[in-house]
Structure 1
């Protein structure tokens, strides 16, 4: 997993944390903070799950930087999984 990723001309910092909190709720495996250009992933999950969460949050960043401020979570889940598979199974 990279320490940073460029999306739409911006650099998103990627970091793991002991917990990921959204609006006082710590029941999240990851989050994407657009204003801080930061992707956070819970450190206590498996490496495979971290990859999956990273691509999910990366998809949020991609959609946001493309101008989609309102996002459908089901669509982000589906597209994130396909992006993950494409990157993992192809040698770029």
Structure 2
């Protein structure tokens, strides 16, 4: 499930699922650092939306950590593995089992 917002290094990023992003912009997701905004194309499977969210979140993590230059191939490879680890292990640090994130 893609959240409506995510906190990254103390910055709250709103997450919007929008129609037509892939068709109009030819991307599945976008991150706008100065607006604290992540956009995900709404016309994808739930798994693909989640994977795209983790990809865009990873870009924001890199930005907030001070990495101004980000190679797309590196971000894609690392975010795909991070997505798999998060999904397959259902991490929820600081939360009780079954408690919402």
Q: Is TM > 0.5 for Structure 1 vs Structure 2? A: yes
Name the Cα RMSD after superposition: 1.3
Displacement of 1:19? 2.6
- What residue number does 1:8 align with? 9
Displacement of 1:20? 2.8
- What residue number does 2:72 align with? 73
Displacement of 1:69? 1.2
Q: CA–CA distance in 2 between the matches of 1:83 and 1:45?
A: 19
Q: What are the ranges of 5 or more consecutive residues in structure 1 without an aligned counterpart?
A: none
Q: Report the structure, 1 or 2, having the larger strand content.
A: 1
Q: What are the ranges of 5 or more consecutive residues in structure 2 without an aligned counterpart?
A: 92-101
User: What do residues 44-89 of structure 1 show as CA deviations (whole Å, max 9, x unaligned)?
Assistant: 1111110111011010000000001110000000110111011111
Runs (4+) of structure 1 moved beyond 2 Å? none
User: What do residues 14-49 of structure 1 show as CA deviations (whole Å, max 9, x unaligned)?
Assistant: 11011338xxx6111100100001110011111111
Displacement of 1:91? 3.3
Q: Report the structure, 1 or 2, having the larger helix content.
A: 2
How has the CA–CA distance of structure 1 residues 44 and 8 changed in structure 2, closer, same or farther, with 3 Å as cutoff? same
